[in-house]
Amino acid sequence: MTEDVAVKPTSIGGRYKWVALSNTTLGVFMSALDGSIVIISLPAIFRGIHLDPLGPGNIIYLLWMIMGYLLVQAVMVVTLGRLGDMYGRVRIYNAGFCVFSGASIFLSFDPFQGGHGAIWLIAWRLVQALGGSMLTANSAAILTDAFPSRQRGLALGINTMAALAGQFIGLVAGGVLAAWDWRAVFWVNVPIGVAGTIWAYRSLRDSGERRNSRIDWWGNITFACGLFILLGSITFGIQPRGGHPMGWQSPKVLVGLALGIGLLIAFWVIESKVAEPMFNLALFRIRAFAAGNAASLLSAIARGGLQFMLIIWLQGIWLPLHGYNYEDTPLWAGIFLLPLTAGFLIAGPTSGYLSDRFGARLFASAGMIIFGSSFVGLMFLPINFPYWAFALFIALNGIGGGMFAAPNGAAVMSSVPADQRGAASGMRSTFQNSGTSLSIGIFFSLMIAGLAHTLPTALSSGLQQQGVSGAVAHQVAELPPVSSLFASFLGVNPIQHLLAPSGVLNTLPQANVNVLTGTHFFPQLISDPFHHGLIIVFTAATILSVIGAIASLLRGGRQPQSEHEILDTMSMPGALQADAVVE
């Protein structure tokens, strides 16, 4: 075994910490922005490559355009954070800017059409996600190295705010840019990425402690493969299969879930045995680290699917009922979700600054309670809500999320030894990204399961009332409900899309065609089934938020003050329950 050699941190000037904050904030904002900018741009992207994403067998392209980016980020951040601990966090971070910018260039010059064009985009999105993972895995560790403990809450609050705000600003930016040219969604990253790369290489320097050690190959392999197979199986579980609305009964999905869980168990065993693990499991003995990450996972699960549910609610029902054409709904959905972003922007840095003075526990726990209460408010809204009430509740959701995320992130990062901050930052990001992926799988499954019981009958009856034959109405009603959800998600009139293959619209009176293809027929048809599904989804999110608030409270009233105190905490038997922390 090689002997650990400590690398001394370099001295830091007073201005350097603000340079580090501004550059890393740009990096995580760009990475998060690209995770969501594609969501709103998908209709324009698929039109640009001449592919119908809702055609037979094509839903897989749609799902992997959305989920592939999240999967890579969830899988790679711990490994890349650990490599930052070993070889330099700034070195890995700077390389991430290069990879991200290069992938953006290739994405904007797709040489193929149809399925091959979709595969090109998905592949380069995975590479882009790798670059984004290099940025997010090390940004929090770079800031923790650069800022003194009394200012870390503010710094990490701004950094966290940038990441969360990027997710929602991407919805608006995607709609605006895609209306011009779908390639502009990727072009926008190039000048920002190039400028950020040059700036990072010129201004950032490794100022944290690091140790030379061996790469834990088996730990890396089992973790990456296990998490990718697990989350990938969840993605396949959402897809319809063999006449079923979802694929959870598929042997491929069941085997994948079992194999993924088995590999993650193997990872846990390996990490407890090897001398130089990829991730030091002893960090979970630190109460602030364990409780903070548990709360972060629960928050991510509650929040992740919310974004998609709100988009479908707006694009598939509320906006059409208020006279917006389906093709315009992606842009307006992003605009109407701005109060959610504003809540993050206000609460993130404010709570981060205040938590530096008064401690993280109060703000993080209160934030989770406000976050959960917003789901209760949304639950009681009618499906055709007054916008002021909707804006109030999503703003509360953003405020609660910002109040939680900034202090919680600072508390987690401050609780670990300096030479473990890269891996700790990666694990923190893994919990967040895995939670988002799990959330999409869980919430979509709940929604689709609810629609599968009620939508076929409502759809068949409604179509026949407008003159569609019973045979055609029954055939359309038996199609997987995920097609209807994704059609509205993509800004496509679901009824027009479902009836087009049969040619029945050409045989009906114009008055019936106008009703079927108008902006009111499908929203009124799906309102009751969708609202029933929303109640289930928001109830689950509320419960997760309450459990997250309890986990946040269990972090203890104090956090470690010094490196020596942290290491003592890690070495204590049963230290997860110990109260070895300081305010």
Mean pLDDT of all residues belonging to the chain: 81
What does the pLDDT read at residue 573? 43
Angle between helices 16-48 and 152-180 (to 10 degrees): 30
Claim to verify: residue 460 and residue 551 sit in the same structural domain = no
Q: What is the pTM of this model?
A: 0.79
For residue 512, how many other CB atoms are within 10 A of its CB? Answer: 18
Q: Token pair of 479, please?
A: 């199609």
What does the pLDDT read at residue 43? 78
In a domain, 395, yes or no: yes
- Unique residue bearing structure tokens 């650069």: 146
Nearest 10 degrees: CA dihedral of 257, 259, 261, 263?
A: -150
| Chain segment 408-463, per-residue pLDDT in tens | 887 888 888 877 777 777 777 778 878 877 887 788 787 887 777 788 888 888 88
In a domain, 578, yes or no: no
Grouping H, G, I as helix, E, B as strand and the rest as coil, residue 343 is helix
Judged by average pLDDT, the poorest of 47-51, 156-160, 465-469, 561-565 is 561-565
Q: Token pair of 294, please?
A: 């548990």
Q: How does 287-315 read in b/e, with b if 16+ C-beta sit within 10 Å?
A: bbbbbbbbbbbbbbbbbbbbbbbbbbbbb
CATH code (residue 418): 1.20.1250.20
Claim to verify: residue 239 and residue 337 sit in the same structural domain = no
DSSP state letter for 206: -
More confident residue, 558 or 474: 474
Highest mean predicted confidence (pLDDT) among 72-76, 96-100, 275-279, 495-499 = 96-100
Q: Token pair of 195, please?
A: 């400028």
What does the pLDDT read at residue 36? 76
- Chain mean position to CA 365: 21
In a domain, 579, yes or no: no
What does the pLDDT read at residue 562? 47
Claim to verify: residue 141 and residue 28 sit in the same structural domain = yes
In a domain, 581, yes or no: no
First to last CA, the chain: 38
Claim to verify: residue 519 and residue 539 sit in the same structural domain = no
- Unique residue bearing structure tokens 């919310």: 306
What does the pLDDT read at residue 127? 94
Last residue of a domain, one of 494, 510, 527: 527
Claim to verify: residue 480 and residue 534 sit in the same structural domain = no
Q: Which of 138, 127, 131, 130 is nearest to 87 (CA)?
A: 138
What does the pLDDT read at residue 180? 83
Claim to verify: residue 323 and residue 361 sit in the same structural domain = yes
Question: With 60 as the cut, is the pLDDT of residue 569 above it?
Answer: no
In one letter, which amino acid is 360?
A: A
Grouping H, G, I as helix, E, B as strand and the rest as coil, residue 58 is coil
Number of structural domains found in the chain: 3
Claim to verify: residue 378 and residue 320 sit in the same structural domain = yes
Claim to verify: residue 371 and residue 400 sit in the same structural domain = yes
pLDDT band at 581 (very low <50, low <70, confident <90, very high): very low
Question: With 60 as the cut, is the pLDDT of residue 12 above it?
Answer: no
In a domain, 211, yes or no: no
State how far the Cα of 436 lies from the Cα of 413, in Å rounded to an integer: 21
What does the pLDDT read at residue 367? 92
State how far the Cα of 524 lies from the Cα of 384, in Å rounded to an integer: 10
Question: With 70 as the cut, is the pLDDT of residue 169 above it?
Answer: yes
In a domain, 316, yes or no: yes
Question: With 50 as the cut, is the pLDDT of residue 266 above it?
Answer: yes
Grouping H, G, I as helix, E, B as strand and the rest as coil, residue 40 is helix
Domain span at residue 541 reads 12-204+278-450+528-571
Question: With 80 as the cut, is the pLDDT of residue 214 above it?
Answer: no
What are the helix and strand counts (H, E) for the chain?
22, 2
Enumerate the β-bridge partners of residue 244: 241
Claim to verify: residue 291 and residue 195 sit in the same structural domain = yes
- Unique residue bearing structure tokens 């009620």: 454
Question: With 50 as the cut, is the pLDDT of residue 1 above it?
Answer: no
State how far the Cα of 7 lies from the Cα of 74, in Å rounded to an integer: 29
Grouping H, G, I as helix, E, B as strand and the rest as coil, residue 266 is helix
Claim to verify: residue 426 and residue 535 sit in the same structural domain = yes
In a domain, 577, yes or no: no
What does the pLDDT read at residue 211? 60
Claim to verify: residue 354 and residue 422 sit in the same structural domain = yes
State how far the Cα of 527 lies from the Cα of 358, in Å rounded to an integer: 45
State how far the Cα of 118 lies from the Cα of 105, in Å rounded to an integer: 16
Claim to verify: residue 286 and residue 430 sit in the same structural domain = yes
Question: With 50 as the cut, is the pLDDT of residue 564 above it?
Answer: no
Last residue of a domain, one of 227, 256, 277: 277
CB within 8 Å of 498: residues ≥ 6 apart = 476, 479, 483, 484, 487
